[in-house]
């Protein structure tokens, strides 16, 4: 709740319940921390008026698809979904296998694991062939 004093016909109006007094400036109680909590920034216009600008929510970069790594993905813009929709594809992913969905470390581990599994299959096949040739003799 923003504590803003708006002048009206009633005299003796308080600026806010916290201060319980009349405002010295005439309009606000000057609680800057509360304005920050509400996402408001005070800005002076070229016409010398003070207006409130509503700050937008901060975007977050996507997490890794592996679910193991705690951090966010590097190389992907951290913006809100509506803005992400308008970005070009080059700003939404990294030029690598699984770029934009998995971090580099997880991709590296996945490739190594796949290579070792394939190698293990080849070893098993060779051992079976050797066993077959031993039986044939």
List the one residue out of 52, 47, 74 whose CA is nearest residue 61: 74
Q: Is pLDDT above 50 for 1?
A: no
Provide mean pLDDT across the span 93-107.
91
Taking all residues of the chain, what is their mean pLDDT, rounded to a whole number?
A: 81
pLDDT 10s digits, 19-73: 555 555 554 555 666 666 677 888 899 999 999 888 888 899 998 888 888 989 9
Predicted confidence at residue 68, as pLDDT, reads 85
Q: Is pLDDT above 50 for 114?
A: yes
% of the chain beyond a pLDDT of 70: 73
Predicted confidence at residue 14, as pLDDT, reads 47
18-22, 71-75, 84-88, 111-115: least confident range:
18-22
């Amino acid at each position: 709740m923003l504590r803003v004093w708006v002048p009206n016909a009633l005299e003796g109006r308080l600026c806010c319940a916290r201060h319980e007094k009349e405002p010295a400036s005439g309009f606000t109680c000057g609680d800057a921390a509360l304005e920050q909590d509400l996402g408001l920034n005070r800005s002076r216009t070229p016409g010398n008026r003070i207006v409130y600008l509503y700050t937008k929510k901060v975007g977050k970069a996507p997490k890794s698809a592996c679910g193991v790594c705690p951090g966010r993905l590097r190389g992907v813009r951290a913006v809100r979904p509506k803005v992400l929709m308008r970005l070009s594809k080059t700003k939404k992913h990294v030029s690598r296998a699984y770029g934009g969905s998995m971090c580099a470390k997880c991709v590296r581990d996945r490739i190594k694991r796949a290579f070792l599994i394939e190698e293990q299959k080849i070893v098993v096949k060779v051992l079976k062939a050797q066993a077959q040739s031993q039986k044939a003799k």
